[in-house]
Amino acid sequence: MQFLKQTTFTTLLVTLWSVALALPGCSTLPQPTQQVPAAPPPNLQTSFLSVPLSFEANQGQTDPEVKFFTRGPGYGLFLTPNEAVLALTHLQPPVSTPSDSPADEAVNEPAVLRMHLIGANPTPTLAGETALPGKVNYFIGNDPNKWESNIPIYGRVRYDNVYPGIDLVYYGNQQQLEYDFVVGPGQDPQHIAIRFEGVTRLELDQNGDLLLLQTEDGVIRQQKPFIYQDVDGKRQIIDGGYVINTEGQVGFQVAAYDVTKPLIIDPILVFSTFLGGAGNDNAYGIAVDNTGQVYVAGETSSLDFPTNNPLQATRAGLGDAYIAKLAADGSALIYATYLGGSGGETALSIAVDGTGHAYVTGETGSPDFPTKNAVQPIHGNGNSPFADAFVVKLAPDGSNLAYATFLGGLGHDVGGDIAVDATGQAYLTGWTSSPDFPTTLNTFQSTRLDDNNAFVVKLTQDGSALAYATYLGGSSLDVGNGIALDGRGQATVIGSTASTDFPTKNPLQPVLLGSSDAFVAQLTVDGSALTFSTYLGGSISDGGVGIAVDGSGQVYTTGYTSSPDFPTKNPIQPSYGNGRGDVFVAKLASDGSALSFATFLGGTGFEEAANITVDGEGHAWITGSTFSPDFPTANPLQPALHGNVDVFITEFLTDGSALKFSTFLGGTGGDGGNDIAVDSEGQIYITGSTGGASTTHPTPTFPIKFALQPTLGGLQDAFIAKINPQVNNLNNKFAPLGSGQVSTAFSRTPCGGATVGTFTVTATFTNISADTLSNLVIQVNKLTGGNVLCNADGGPDGAGALFTIPLLGSFADGQLSPNEAFTVAFQIGLQSFNPFQFVVDVLGEEIP
């Protein structure tokens, strides 16, 4: 949110507990008789995967000193005129409870955290803001005189003038509390001083996060804010963060900024949340629809996996698949359901069509797996220990199955990946050991050539028939791991093969070079033939795991390699990282005839790719897992490996010539990325698993932001994270990129006896792509002292673009000499051109 002519400091309070609580010293809160309507969600960039928070006015429900309060899983927040009281409760599970058995959970006494403002107004005015629809009613007992009804609820609570010219505002969502200090023009944020009671120690960690440590109950983490100003439509990044003084009080330090404009403190990581229960949970697939709603699928052994509007409310076997859909504004789970029978299930991939139907594939060992309108209504091998693949199509609201079917034969069959076309026809690939796997007439390969071949299947829109189904493989082991569609409905598949006779056509690499290679194969629309098929690998071992196709049909692939001679072209990393395995990333022409680029990606440890996607600009995005502390990063959210293994998320420029973004993501436990998706706005969604705690770090440290579920439910949970790559953390590391020419034109006020204002620079470039130019950041530096005067990010494509640059600081008269030289550096991410020099006189006019 923005306040005109005010400065806003937003602090995020993340709790690491769960379960309801009562506050000592205040009346235990009765439960309302009806569901409170949801608050309108905050802006998408600052809140996602969150349940809306609402504040109740106190009309006798609790201690009279409390004016407003709110509750959520694991916390209650009580606002009095002089302090905010946060009560936290977590469950302590009994020792040696099996993960697949219901736990007799014991509720600990709540931990109470009090927040006081030092030197603040003792009698501020409290007022509810953003009145929400609906009222709260308490009809407790049979005495109507004790009932409370029509209690108003609000989205925000404001304390006016806690310090002169400074307000304090509480708001947020059910799982994530936020508070803003709203600093008026001319006021000093350094007046703000906070004392926390109920903590044993305050610390700032290496990332600038504020840790409120409690001996028995854990840690409250307030993550370091991302601070910026919007000036003349341009985002200016301001340095700053928390400080702790010698008396243990918390305040803010903020670098120089324009005090007449709003100052926004906002995270780059849009959201990150756990998803799971007391057992083990993992997410293997993620998808996003054209309205930004998020779909996740995986497996769970938890009896208490969070469900909402479930098709199947309880776990049926020792482990079930699950499917979850979240609202675009993050306000709720639209649905979350178990899916399975009395055996075991794993969902491995999910896709979504234009109408919001979810398509899921994986494997099931349950003969009673739910089926509907099935092309194969019974398990292929009865009660045998072998699993069948399954395919399900779920209604947009999750209330029913459009279809659900087994897919398999006498052996073991697994659906590894799924895609859907514009008409709602589903395509999947996987692997099978069944000699009788269902195939269709006139298909490319109707018989299995080895104990295990890949398969490719296309189902009709209603799931009642196979449009085509084919084996794909040779006389050794072949596995299909990924599938993607082009605009004509041709399916391109990636996987791994150990077959010297894997079928090829117009191959980029015609022979198997190692013990196993990746393969990339594209089928015709009807599945009757290959349009191209090739090996891809080196002399040791390689495998393909993920594939994407852009609007022009170009093919993006990723996988693993332990071959130092894996084929590369225009690589950003030309050599093997010397660990146990690296990721490879390769882009092929639409007909498979050539490599556009191919590169290693990794460090001295071990890397494993999971999947790849491509955004609207043709940038490839990859996720997976890395053990390497020297994994290559660029403009990272998290610059260092935090545990033995972390998630990585990496973005390549269109031509593969550089990394635009690359980051670790993880905590001190074991974390792995399993799937990645991109929406129409270029925002990135990642899912996987996190082990959270370890023996050396018993408190989970996976980065959590605006979390639907802020605490780890068991030993292992799924995670979901969303990143907005348009918000970049800029720095001043410069390196030459190319040649260019600059001419400049100034207004008369900004430089030389300068006051805060703006000027423009006209830049003309040579040898620069539009993709590079669209991500320019201009910096104007004082040549002698190196002080940054002005910043501007972004700019239109094309040569001769005009950039308006706000002056961040003022220089006194006489501080700049006539004809003093300045430089302009044109920065792209972590790199820039060599500085170009120009001079100005004391009036700020250019000297030719």
Residue 255 shares a structural domain with residue 281: no
pLDDT of residue 234: 53
Residue 256 shares a structural domain with residue 400: no
Task: Answer yes or no: is 330 within a domain.
Answer: yes
Task: Answer yes or no: is 651 within a domain.
Answer: no
- Report the pLDDT averaged over residues 148-167: 84
Alpha carbon dihedral 401, 407, 410, 411, in 10-degree steps, equals -110
pLDDT of residue 191: 83
- Report the pLDDT averaged over residues 633-660: 90
Q: Give the residue from 449, 472, 495 where a domain finishes.
A: 472
Q: Looking at mean pLDDT, say which of 143-157, 710-724, 762-776 comes out highest.
A: 710-724
Q: Give the residue from 249, 267, 285 where a domain finishes.
A: 267
Which pLDDT tens digit goes with each residue over 78-104?
999 989 988 875 433 333 333 333 333
Task: Answer yes or no: is 346 within a domain.
Answer: yes
Residue 212 shares a structural domain with residue 289: no
Residue 281 shares a structural domain with residue 261: no
- Whole-number Å distance between alpha carbons of 66 and 144: 23
Least confident of 328-342, 444-458, 765-779: 765-779
Residue 175 shares a structural domain with residue 227: yes
pLDDT of residue 621: 97
- Whole-number Å distance between alpha carbons of 803 and 90: 52
Which among 543, 531, 693, 705 is positioned nearest to 608, based on CA atoms? 543
Which among 295, 428, 277 is positioned nearest to 363, based on CA atoms? 428
- Report the pLDDT averaged over residues 224-249: 71
Mean pLDDT, rounded, of the chain: 74
- Whole-number Å distance between alpha carbons of 219 and 215: 9
Per DSSP, the three-state class of 427 is strand
Residue 73 shares a structural domain with residue 149: yes
- Report the pLDDT averaged over residues 548-571: 96
Task: Please state whether beta strands 388-394 and 758-765 pair in parallel, antiparallel, or not at all (unpaired).
Answer: unpaired
* pLDDT tier at 168, thresholds 50, 70, 90: confident
530-546 residues labelled b (16+ CB within 10 A) or e (exposed):
bbbbbbbbbebbbbbbb
pLDDT of residue 796: 36
CATH code (residue 783): 2.60.40
Query: Is the pLDDT higher at 272 or at 784?
Result: 272
Residue 310 shares a structural domain with residue 287: yes
Task: Answer yes or no: is 16 within a domain.
Answer: yes
Which pLDDT tens digit goes with each residue over 275-313?
777 888 888 999 999 888 899 999 998 888 888 888 898
Least confident of 7-11, 73-77, 119-123, 730-734: 730-734
What are the DSSP calls for 241-278, one per residue?
EEEE-TTS-EEEEE-S--TTS--EE--SEEEEEEE--S
Distances (CA, A) of 789 to 747, 779, 819: 15, 8, 17
Does 172 have pLDDT greater than 50? yes
Which pLDDT tens digit goes with each residue over 596-618?
999 999 999 999 999 999 999 89
* pLDDT tier at 176, thresholds 50, 70, 90: low
> Is the separation of the CB atoms in 408 and 380 below 8 Å?
yes
pLDDT of residue 59: 85
pLDDT of residue 636: 82
- Whole-number Å distance between alpha carbons of 444 and 437: 14
Residue whose entry in the numeric block shows the structure tokens 């030993």: 715
pLDDT of residue 807: 36
- Whole-number Å distance between alpha carbons of 326 and 788: 43
Residue type for 650, please?
T
Does 199 have pLDDT greater than 50? yes
pLDDT of residue 272: 64
Least confident of 303-317, 350-364, 756-770: 756-770
- Whole-number Å distance between alpha carbons of 164 and 32: 38
pLDDT of residue 825: 41
Least confident of 57-61, 267-271, 447-451, 790-794: 790-794
Task: Answer yes or no: is 595 within a domain.
Answer: no
pLDDT of residue 726: 54
Task: Answer yes or no: is 74 within a domain.
Answer: yes
Residue 85 shares a structural domain with residue 140: yes
Per DSSP (E only), the strands in 562-615 are: 582-588, 595-601, 607-614
- Contacts of 848 by beta carbon, 8 Å cutoff, 6+ apart: none
CA atoms within 13 A on the CB side of 396: 11
Query: Is the pLDDT higher at 706 or at 555?
Result: 555
Query: Is the pLDDT higher at 839 or at 471?
Result: 471
- Whole-number Å distance between alpha carbons of 426 and 409: 20
* pLDDT tier at 710, thresholds 50, 70, 90: low
Does 591 have pLDDT greater than 70? yes
Does 12 have pLDDT greater than 90? no
- Report the pLDDT averaged over residues 345-349: 96
- Contacts of 463 by beta carbon, 8 Å cutoff, 6+ apart: 373, 374, 375, 391, 393, 402, 403, 404, 405, 426
Per the structure, the complete domain to which residue 834 belongs is given by: 740-840
pLDDT of residue 372: 95
- Cβ-count burial of 40 within 10 angstroms (0-12 exposed, 13-18 middle, 19+ buried)? exposed
Does 791 have pLDDT greater than 70? no
pLDDT of residue 480: 98
- Whole-number Å distance between alpha carbons of 424 and 278: 36
- Whole-number Å distance between alpha carbons of 819 and 235: 30
pLDDT of residue 724: 74
Which among 436, 545, 553, 536 is positioned nearest to 489, based on CA atoms? 553
pLDDT of residue 488: 94
- Whole-number Å distance between alpha carbons of 28 and 76: 11
**Beta strands across the sheet bearing 491-497:** 478-485, 491-497, 517-523, 530-536
Percent share of the chain, pLDDT over 90: 41
- Report the pLDDT averaged over residues 431-452: 94
Residue 152 shares a structural domain with residue 46: yes
Q: How many CB atoms lie within 10 A of CB 313?
A: 10
Q: Give the residue from 417, 447, 472 where a domain finishes.
A: 472
Does 768 have pLDDT greater than 60? no
Q: Looking at mean pLDDT, say which of 248-257, 363-372, 675-684 comes out highest.
A: 363-372
Residue type for 28, please?
T
Least confident of 140-144, 145-149, 153-157: 140-144
Residue 142 shares a structural domain with residue 283: no
Task: Answer yes or no: is 708 within a domain.
Answer: no
Residue 289 shares a structural domain with residue 417: yes
**Beta strands across the sheet bearing 758-765:** 740-745, 758-765, 801-806
Phi then psi for residue 111, to 5 deg, are -90, 135
Radius of gyration of the chain measured on its C-alpha atoms: 29
Does 742 have pLDDT greater than 50? no
Least confident of 178-187, 624-633, 676-685, 789-798: 789-798
**The pair of three-digit structure tokens given for residue 674, joined into one six-digit string:** 């399993």
Q: What element of type H or E holds 339?
A: strand 333-339
* pLDDT tier at 435, thresholds 50, 70, 90: very high
Total of domains in the chain: 3
Does 741 have pLDDT greater than 50? no
* pLDDT tier at 144, thresholds 50, 70, 90: low
- Whole-number Å distance between alpha carbons of 647 and 286: 15
- Report the pLDDT averaged over residues 307-333: 83
Residue 392 shares a structural domain with residue 465: yes
Query: Is the pLDDT higher at 547 or at 22?
Result: 547
pLDDT of residue 134: 64
**Beta strands across the sheet bearing 218-222:** 201-204, 210-214, 218-222
- Whole-number Å distance between alpha carbons of 446 and 477: 17
Q: Looking at mean pLDDT, say which of 215-219, 654-658, 701-705 comes out highest.
A: 654-658
Task: Answer yes or no: is 647 within a domain.
Answer: no
